[in-house]
Amino acid sequence: MPARLMELGWHVHLIADVFPNDAQEISDEDWIAYGLAHGWVPLCKDGRIKGKEHERRPLVDHAGVLFYLDNQQLRVDEMVRRIHGAQWEIHRAVWRKGPAAYAISVDGIRRTWP
């Protein structure tokens, strides 16, 4: 998916390029904080991440915005279509700052936290 987004002009940072073993040994809180501290906007497939206070803490600390796909079972082409189709909405949400979490769905984005 990242390669397909980059082909469409997205600037993508892979957390696996920063942390070894595809970041499997780092907590969600730590990779989110790292990304936000570097000016990145976290995108994940699992919306449950916004449901845990300690994992939301970096969003609060950095006035960050996190995006996640509302369906973890999507094929790559559908993930890319949804993300790219919501590009302007995503940019506007990032510009407004956070803390906030948004689901990316077939119809665009919707704020789900706070």
- 46-102 confidence digits (pLDDT tens): 778 777 888 899 999 999 999 999 998 999 999 999 999 999 999 999 999 999 999
Question: What pLDDT score was predicted for residue 9?
Answer: 97
Q: Binning pLDDT at 50, 70 and 90, where does residue 41 land?
A: very high
Q: Which of 80, 6, 9, 7 is nearest to 17 (CA)?
A: 6
Question: What pLDDT score was predicted for residue 45?
Answer: 83
- Model confidence at 11: pLDDT above 90: yes
Question: What pLDDT score was predicted for residue 96?
Answer: 97
CA distance 34 to 18: 10
Cα torsion angle, 97, 38, 20, 9, sign: positive
The answer for residues whose C-beta is within 8 angstroms of residue 16's C-beta and 6 or more apart is 22, 23
Q: Which helix (H) or strand (E) holds 89?
A: helix 87-96
Q: Residue-wise over 67-76: b if at least 16 C-beta within 10 A, else e?
A: bbbbeeebee
Question: What pLDDT score was predicted for residue 113?
Answer: 94
Q: What is the pTM of this model?
A: 0.92
Question: What pLDDT score was predicted for residue 3?
Answer: 96
